[in-house]
Amino acid sequence: MKTDNDKQTKTKQEETKKKEILTELQNFHKKDISFSSGKILSSMCTKPLKIVEEARKIFKETNLGDKRISEGAIEIEKICIRWVGDLLNLNQPYGFITSGGTESNILAIMEARARKREAMKESGEKEMMPEEIIVPETAHFSFDKISFLMDIKIKKASADKNFCVDLNSVKNLINKNTIAVVGVAGTTEYGSIDDIEGLAQICMANKIYLHVDAAFGGFVIPFIRKLNYNVRNFDFGIEGVDSIALDPHKMGMNIIPSGMILFGKEPKFSVNVSYLQGKHERLLGTFPAASAAGCYACLKFLGEDGYIKIVKECMENTKELAEGLKGLGIEILNPTMNILNFNIRKEIYNKLVETGWIISKTSKGYARIVIMPHTKRTHIKKFLNDIKQLMKNAKN
């Protein structure tokens, strides 16, 4: 029989243990670089909205992957998909909240395969091997993973001088084994936007699935277009677009992990799971409903106007940095969105990294900066100042 004293001692021990563990975790966390430090200039993630912290807690134990017990969470997901469907010109959207761009891109190619195989079955055609996808050479590396994972041949179409896919190159790569073409709206390295209208024409003429990877651009392009920036459209208003990926955990201001995939019509891919009493259409079996709750909170709290305000500030800050760099005599590439590339001497780039700036380089050797909502004018000023100083030192 346990006495009250025993119980008290146990509670005390547990409290001490909890404190120790939390202190350990805080110490690990201190090693991470925070967004608020201003040092992170090339991440596509950012500090989530404050309300998300509360929203995620409400759903901390809900599994979005189990329809039997997550009716409320699934309703939230549907509302988010509808909201984004409206944003992307789609009347009747289908789709899911995912863990991010990689998962959404996987689901898109799985869907392309499912549709192609069904069409071939219906027409009595033999299964083709190996299936192929065409992606721009600027596409995210998730497509290389997809190629390996799904045993699909990946063909890379060349890009023009503005880092947008060359339509002739795409045309030349198409053959009877092509199951999907991918266009990118907001490339990871340059923020360039492919000619989705041109790709859609090609895909419709060849009856090929068209997926648009707007993991980054999805929460930027619709808003900068509303701000009258002259950038290409990429959404479902373009006939022939079959699916779009976009990430709430990038410019959507939500917690990690959260992506989204939207389909223009009901997806064909699913597996039957008798013990879950129905179809399972997701990639992941278990998925945090907390991500959906965070997404709902962001969309509702910010609304279109809130997103426009955030994106406007990022674009203005990008311009501020671009002007500052030009003022230092540095060659920049004109930015399409809040990603800025410039040419900087290797020694100076390396010194910037040494002094703690988190910046990156593209495959073509340009410095790459992503101006996210956590990057403020003061950080930009400090960064420009550091470059100025390093250039001065290099001269002496």
Ligand X SMILES: Cc1ncc(COP(=O)(O)O)c(C=O)c1O
Minimum CB separation of residue 102 from ligand X in Å reads 3
Closest by alpha carbon to 245, among 370, 363, 140, 117? 140
> Could you give the string, one character per residue 134-153, with x where binding to ligand X holds by CB under 6 A and - elsewhere?
------x-x-----------
Of 330 and 339, CB closest to ligand X = 339
Q: Does 188 bind ligand X (CB under 6 A)?
A: yes
Minimum CB separation of residue 110 from ligand X in Å reads 15
Q: Does 215 bind ligand X (CB under 6 A)?
A: yes
Q: Looking at 259, 267, 335, 373, which residue binds ligand X (CB under 6 A)?
A: 259
Minimum CB separation of residue 248 from ligand X in Å reads 10
Of 245 and 330, CB closest to ligand X = 245
Of 293 and 337, CB closest to ligand X = 337
What SS3 string covers the chain? CCCHHHHHHHHHHHHHHHHHHHHHHHHHHHCCCCHHHCCECCCCCCCCCHHHHHHHHHCCCCECCCCCCCHHHHHHHHHHHHHHHHHCCCCCCEEEEECCHHHHHHHHHHHHHHHHHHHHHHHCCCCCCCCEEEEECCCCCHHHHHHHHHCCEEEEECECCCCCECHHHHHHHCCCCEEEEEEEECCCCCCCECCHHHHHHHHHHHCCEEEEECCCHHHCHHHHHHCCCCCCCCCCCCCCCCEEEECCCCCCCCCCCCEEEEECCCCCCCEEEHHHCEEECCCCCCCEHHHHHHHHHHHHHHHHHHHHHHHHHHHHHHHHHHHHHHHCCCCEECCCCCEEEECCCHHHHHHHHHCCCECEECCCCCEEEECCCCCCHHHHHHHHHHHHHHHHHHHC
Contact region with ligand X (CB under 6 A), list: 7-15, 24-32, 211-219, 228-236 = 211-219
Q: Does 223 bind ligand X (CB under 6 A)?
A: no
Minimum CB separation of residue 42 from ligand X in Å reads 10
Q: Looking at 107, 247, 291, 315, which residue binds ligand X (CB under 6 A)?
A: 247
Q: Does 371 bind ligand X (CB under 6 A)?
A: no
Using CB under 6 A, which residues numbered 32 to 71 contact ligand X?
A: 44
Confirm if 287 and 125 have CB atoms less than 8 A apart.
no
Minimum CB separation of residue 163 from ligand X in Å reads 12
Minimum CB separation of residue 108 from ligand X in Å reads 11
CA distance 367 to 10: 56
Q: Does 100 bind ligand X (CB under 6 A)?
A: yes
Minimum CB separation of residue 146 from ligand X in Å reads 11
Using CB under 6 A, which residues numbered 262 to 321 contact ligand X?
A: none
Contact region with ligand X (CB under 6 A), list: 77-85, 120-128, 208-216, 323-331 = 208-216
Of 132 and 247, CB closest to ligand X = 247
Minimum CB separation of residue 177 from ligand X in Å reads 24
Q: Looking at 40, 159, 174, 184, which residue binds ligand X (CB under 6 A)?
A: 184
Q: Does 375 bind ligand X (CB under 6 A)?
A: no
Where along the sequence are the contacts to ligand X (CB under 6 A)?
A: 44, 100-102, 105, 140, 142, 184, 188, 213, 215-216, 247, 259
